[in-house]
Structures are given as C-alpha cells and as structure tokens.
Amino acid sequence: MTIRRTATSVMAGCAATLALISTGVGTAEARVAKETATVSSAATSSVELASLTRYYNGSKHWSTTGTAPGGKYAVEGKVAILATQAEGSVPIYSCLAGHAPLDQFLSHHRSCEGDRNAFLRLEGYVYSSPVPGFTQPIYRCHWGKSQSHFFSVASDCESTGANPIKSEFRLGYVKR
C-alpha cells in the first residue's frame, strides 16, 4: 500500500517527546523484525514477536507490522508485539476511519468499530494484562487537530498544552 501526502503541518515536539524506542528517524523502509523470544509465563514458553512501527509524515500517523507507508512517512518508534496469539492475548487490527482522510487506527475489533470504517489487516497481538516480559502498556491516541490516530507508550499520549492529544484507551501490554 502506498500513501502519498504532502505534510502541511508539523506537530511540535512530537519526535522530542516520543517515548518509544528510537529506530533511526528518517528510515521509511519496511522493518518487520520477527524473532523468537523466551518469555517466563505459565501460558507461554516461547513466542514469536513482530515489530509494530509508528510512522509520521508531518500531519498523519500510520502504525503497522507490515510494509512501511510510502510518501514522506518517517519512523517515530516501534514496540514488540506478539506475531501469533498466545494465552491471555488479544488481537490488534489495522483499520481506516471512514470520517477522516488517511486516519488509520488500531482496534481490538475486526469490524473496526463502525460501518464506515474499513478493515485493513491483522497486525498481531498484545497481552490484555501484564505478564513477565510484557509489562509496557501502549495506548490508542487521537490527535484531533490533524484527525490522526497513533499508539504511544505514554499514558498522556505525549499531549502538550499547544498540542492536546486524547488518550482513548489502553490497547494492551507489549514487550518491555
């Protein structure tokens, strides 16, 4: 999928306050890092991980474990999620909002929370409660000014007085 959009506004301080693991801002190539990790859990002894990457083009965000979006999207950060379902995990689906152009968001529901929204793909799984090794919460955030959803490890979604951002809910727990 290729997305081409010229950035018309830049979210002040977004990259500076990003609490995600830095992965070389400016590289927009696909980075689907899958690895096998051992997790100390009664439910799971070994899980396959996928890299959920957050991209930003100056006005819109895109989050995926798949191919990087085209255009001027740059990597803001990434977190490790489950590539396959494990006991205690819930799915994360990628959806496109029907009410705003290029507003991609993550959901627990394949129906994408509304008739006008479109299902894009299954991204992977997150734990619904913390388990050993997976204790980092991630949140679904909405930046109203830009009509853009994204995920963040910050419970306030990196909101500032100049750029108010709403934390919609906790998506789950990812590898710390």
Q: Does 20 have pLDDT greater than 70?
A: no
C-alpha torsion sign, points 30, 36, 37, 40: positive
**Residue at 139 is within a domain:** yes
Q: Does 55 have pLDDT greater than 70?
A: yes
Residue 163 pairs with which residues in a beta bridge? none
Q: Does 137 have pLDDT greater than 90?
A: yes
**Residue at 7 is within a domain:** no
Q: Does 76 have pLDDT greater than 60?
A: yes
Question: What is the model's pLDDT at position 167?
Answer: 95
Tell me the pLDDT of the chain averaged across its residues.
Answer: 79
Euclidean distance between CA atoms 14 and 154, whole angstroms: 12
Residues 6+ apart with CB under 8 A from 96: 102, 103, 104, 105, 112, 117, 118, 120
The total number of structural domains that make up the chain: 1
State both tokens at 59. 């006005």
Question: What is the model's pLDDT at position 115?
Answer: 85
Output 80 or 19, whichever has higher pLDDT: 80
Question: What is the model's pLDDT at position 82?
Answer: 98
**Residue at 6 is within a domain:** no
pLDDT-derived band at 101, boundaries 50, 70, 90: confident
Euclidean distance between CA atoms 157 and 140, whole angstroms: 8
**Residue at 166 is within a domain:** yes
Residue 118 pairs with which residues in a beta bridge? 96
Amino acid at 108: H
Q: Does 61 have pLDDT greater than 90?
A: yes
pTM listed for this prediction: 0.74
Query: What does each C-alpha distance from 54 to 19, 40, 74 come to in angstroms?
Result: 12, 27, 8
Q: Alpha helix (H) ranges present in the chain?
A: 14-17
Q: Please state the φ and ψ torsions of residue 110, each to the nearest 5 degrees.
A: -65, -25
Q: Which of 70, 71, 75, 87 is nearest to 51 (CA)?
A: 75
**Residue at 163 is within a domain:** yes
Q: Domain of 89?
A: 14-174
Question: What is the model's pLDDT at position 25?
Answer: 37
120-145: average pLDDT: 96
Query: What does each C-alpha distance from 104 to 15, 62, 127, 131, 160 come to in angstroms?
Result: 19, 6, 22, 28, 22
Q: Does 35 have pLDDT greater than 70?
A: no
